[in-house]
Structure 1
């Protein structure tokens, strides 16, 4: 999921169509924004499908339902802990897609039976069943029957991060998966695989920052043209990902080692000279770009971490609200020479 600034803040059509950030979508500063959600391949960052709409009226869960048609049997869908829920889990599982989603650690999911790899099978209850079980726990009662819900496999694990100064940080994780057979999908293998979910963050960084440019605001003044701009960005991004994958296949390297920044730069340099070019010229240009990409490979991906810290504001001035009246622009000024500067110990001599 990502947010796009959706055009000029002063235009009422974009404000009405997309809304603003804030709990009720009525934040009184900044630009209208679009909420965009995408299905992205972990290895190539290629976009399988994307959906976007008003940030004020459409949550992540609502947009996720628009992507269900693009899920296929045999896929493994990774998602963070904001998505786990009985209804959405069932909709995704009905497509034949496998799931490995992070869930919140405070969810109470009693084990039905424990598997040899340390994972266990439980039930993700319906909302009504979850409330019933919660009341039973509060009053110290043991449920008389199994709850209604989805049969899931739970994997609890920890990740220890050691830095160069020998300090260690331990974080707990909990995964829920529809892969119930521990022999088909061992707990350790799934835990290591979930780390790949962060590739979608790299994909959004490529789309929003490296392709658009930092601070770029969609320029259109109508919602229809805003949508056209977003589709254009997604199309260009997909084409660049395809070029990266083609170069990786030619060089027999991991697509992670093909620089997206270099791909964008080369595409910009070569596209202007390909107007009305014939197929032979286009093929030769592509071969040249591929070779340059392979000559500028990134080093192998290293382990890293990013602190969840909010950047300090650039200034402390109060944000201007859209409904705040502007101060008068026609003013008059008066100037008065105050005389002897305070830092001088004696009056300056006059000639």
Structure 2
């Protein structure tokens, strides 16, 4: 192949991906946006078929497809080039695989976070909780091929004999409760505690955010750390930990709610450095809400919520209870990433490729959330009630038509796609 043919083929592929996958991202992931991110990474690249732009779009289409093999991804490129009589590349996948390796981790991480941020800009007051943005934190795990590099970076569970398991990484993620988008993620070893992952995520909170989490994240120190970011928290207090809390004052608001002043633990928790422990104030004022959740046929759940939102008039008790009831939706978000999109078993043979895959999945996931948001807001339906699986299926089916349609027809197809996502949705996340 000659170098003069490459730019033409690159432009053909850019056009096809922009017309299909790129359409929902037309205001979020423009070529100029990708170029700006490349410049921020100081990345220079040669003129070749799989330049960063083409590689990124192929990578995205790969994780969205049910067939996630590199052979299928390259086959799609060959098909699109052959249809316009352009010179086709080799069926060998090495060029594409090498191109994926050249993509910087930070580029993919930056892009998925930027898409989530820009989608957040579309949130209006009607989608906020008591006028506040709410983020939800949770953790999960992913497995990967059993290579020496992966085992060194993300060892398999110690309970498994060597050679009888796969490397496993733990991920901690922040999701927007308004849009369902993944805002930030951190990746670490399996035996790291969830609360340590959460502390790495606090930096991605915006002033004024409310952080929602289960009992794994509720601690004296973390409530203060979150306040230091000018944010508030709503956590569930573990039944095992409730008797360990040192209360020095309590002011009842009702029979099931009170304002309490907690005393700093007398001994330093293992997860804190001496400097962090020393910097923590000696007392902390929190609001404690206790209530029951009756479950027919099961033992009644006794829930204790702890929050730094102290004013019951601005933040009514019923609203806090209702909001905590939505916390489980982050588990559905992680389930969609792992099962609907297939992120539970990764294919990267090195730790770097594993992390790139995770970021690519998050970027694809946020793409779907973008489509669902536009479908819901266009047709006056709550975007979070739409089916992500349905959105992925409809998008996959519309992609070939969007790629080859004229500009006028493409707009009609896209509006039909949005209508179909709403009309055929089973209204489950």
Same fold (TM over 0.5): yes
Larger radius of gyration: 1
Query: Where in structure 2 are the equivalents of 1:131-170 lying within 5 Å?
Result: 148-162=282-296, 167=297, 169-170=299-300
The residue number in structure 2 matching 1:16 is: 152
TM-score (norm 1): 0.71
| Displacement of 1:193 | 1.8
8 Å contact from structure 1 (residues 117, 187) kept in 2: no
Gaps of 5+ in 2: 1-138, 270-280
- Counterpart among 331, 334, 339 of residue 204 in structure 1: 334
| In the alignment, structure 1 residue 78 sits paired with structure 2 residue 212 | yes
Distance 1:50 1:207, change over 3 A: same
Distance 1:276 1:252, change over 3 A: same
How many equivalent residue pairs? Answer: 276
| Displacement of 1:63 | 1.7
- Counterpart among 164, 177, 182 of residue 312 in structure 2: 182
C-alpha distance in structure 1 between counterparts of 2:309 and 2:145, whole Å: 46
The residue number in structure 1 matching 2:181 is: 46
8 Å contact from structure 1 (residues 118, 187) kept in 2: no
C-alpha distance in structure 1 between counterparts of 2:199 and 2:178, whole Å: 23
| Displacement of 1:270 | 2.3
8 Å contact from structure 1 (residues 126, 149) kept in 2: yes
* Larger relative contact order, structure 1 or 2 (CA cutoff 8 Å, min sep 6): 2
C-alpha distance in structure 1 between counterparts of 2:406 and 2:348, whole Å: 33
- Counterpart among 350, 353, 357 of residue 229 in structure 1: 357
| Displacement of 1:231 | 0.9
The residue number in structure 2 matching 1:120 is: 258
| Displacement of 1:219 | 1.3
C-alpha distance in structure 2 between counterparts of 1:27 and 1:156, whole Å: 46
C-alpha distance in structure 2 between counterparts of 1:126 and 1:246, whole Å: 47
8 Å contact from structure 1 (residues 80, 102) kept in 2: yes
Q: Residue 235 of structure 1: SS of its match in structure 2?
A: helix
| Displacement of 1:43 | 3.8
C-alpha distance in structure 1 between counterparts of 2:314 and 2:215, whole Å: 24
C-alpha distance in structure 1 between counterparts of 2:374 and 2:265, whole Å: 46
The residue number in structure 1 matching 2:198 is: 64
Distance 1:300 1:8, change over 3 A: closer
| Displacement of 1:62 | 2.1
8 Å contact from structure 1 (residues 129, 148) kept in 2: no
C-alpha distance in structure 1 between counterparts of 2:317 and 2:352, whole Å: 46
8 Å contact from structure 2 (residues 232, 308) kept in 1: yes
Q: 1:274-310: per-residue Cα shift (whole Å, max 9, x none)? A: 4487765553432121011122132589xxxxxxxxx
Distance 1:218 1:299, change over 3 A: closer
Gaps of 5+ in 1: 132-146, 302-351
The residue number in structure 1 matching 2:414 is: 286
C-alpha distance in structure 1 between counterparts of 2:214 and 2:162, whole Å: 26
C-alpha distance in structure 1 between counterparts of 2:383 and 2:211, whole Å: 20
| Displacement of 1:41 | 1.9
| In the alignment, structure 1 residue 240 sits paired with structure 2 residue 360 | no
- Counterpart among 236, 255, 265 of residue 102 in structure 1: 236
The residue number in structure 1 matching 2:28 is: none
Question: What is the RMSD computed on CA atoms of the aligned residues?
Answer: 2.7
| Displacement of 1:92 | 0.9
C-alpha distance in structure 2 between counterparts of 1:117 and 1:248, whole Å: 41
| In the alignment, structure 1 residue 258 sits paired with structure 2 residue 386 | yes
C-alpha distance in structure 1 between counterparts of 2:223 and 2:292, whole Å: 24
Where is the helix percentage greater, Structure 1 or Structure 2?
2
| Displacement of 1:272 | 3.8
Q: Which runs of 4+ in 1 moved over 3 A?
A: 25-29, 108-111, 272-285
Q: Residue 304 of structure 2: SS of its match in structure 1?
A: strand
8 Å contact from structure 2 (residues 220, 264) kept in 1: yes
